[in-house]
Amino acid sequence: MTRLNGKRALITGGTSGIGLETAKQFLAEGAELIVTGVTPANVEKTQKELGNQVLVLQADSRDLNAQRQLAERVEQHFGKLDIAFLNAGVSDWRPFEQIDEEAFDRLFAINVKAPFFLMQALTPVMANPSSVVLMGSSSSHAGYAHSNAYAATKGAISTLTKAWNSDLLSSHGIRFNTVSPGPIDTPLYDKNKLGVSDEIREMVINRIRDGIPAGRMGTAEEIAKAVVYLASDESRFTIGVDLVLDGAQTIL
């Protein structure tokens, strides 16, 4: 399909998981693409995987100057931007008592402050009309244990979706929507990232699955397809939506 044919798109945090899968689907739909990642190794790997038609850049979300420089690179490369998927983020699922000030500040710096100021820098670069999709989380819609500060950052993202539409839809033609996935089968759940044994990992995964009425975790492909829809002109009357994709987990 060519739903994004000729569209100029940016995906932050696009070197793994949902971001990388979305990049692949954007390409399949005809988009021109810039992708960002944090580590040089992942940037290099993604560049090889996506090919030379994609510009893969290193950009640290915690560095606001780097965010502003990213907006400048986008303008230099594309002139104007039709689509932005602000996907870069981190999670921290420690118990409430174990979240210290450093962890709290890191979550808000990367998940809220970075996209806020990146969007501020990107606004003059966005085409009219254009579409921005933000990465939320189903945890902001339910009181999951150990989600605490992380869920608060994603609640902020959901609120920004509404506020930015009020600020920028009429004046700049930019529409905002959010995707809020539940548990997704990505490298986030690899035993090495979890820091546990195969046995413990399987126990964690089974416990998660037991809490999902659909009986399974979601896939990166399923979330990416939703992002493609929200990015495309098919959804041009879809504005301010926080689309929860969690196998009905939050209805329990």
Residues taking part in catalysis: 150
Query: In whole angstroms, what is the distance from residue 89 CA to residue 163 CA?
Result: 20
What beta strand segments (E) does the chain contain?
A: 8-12, 32-37, 54-58, 81-86, 126-135, 174-181, 184-185, 218-219, 242-245
Radius of gyration of the chain (CA): 17
Other beta carbons less than 10 A from residue 96's beta carbon:
10
Structure tokens at 203: 């126990």
36 - beta bridge partners?
57
* HEC string for 77-100: HHCCEEEEEECCCCCCCCCHHHCC
Cα–Cα distance measured from residue 59 to residue 69, given in angstroms and rounded to the nearest whole number:
9
Distances (CA, A) of 220 to 75, 112, 183, 186, 196: 29, 22, 10, 7, 22
Classify strands 218-219 and 242-245 as parallel, antiparallel or unpaired: unpaired
Q: Residue 174 corresponds to which tokens in the numbers above?
A: 């930019």
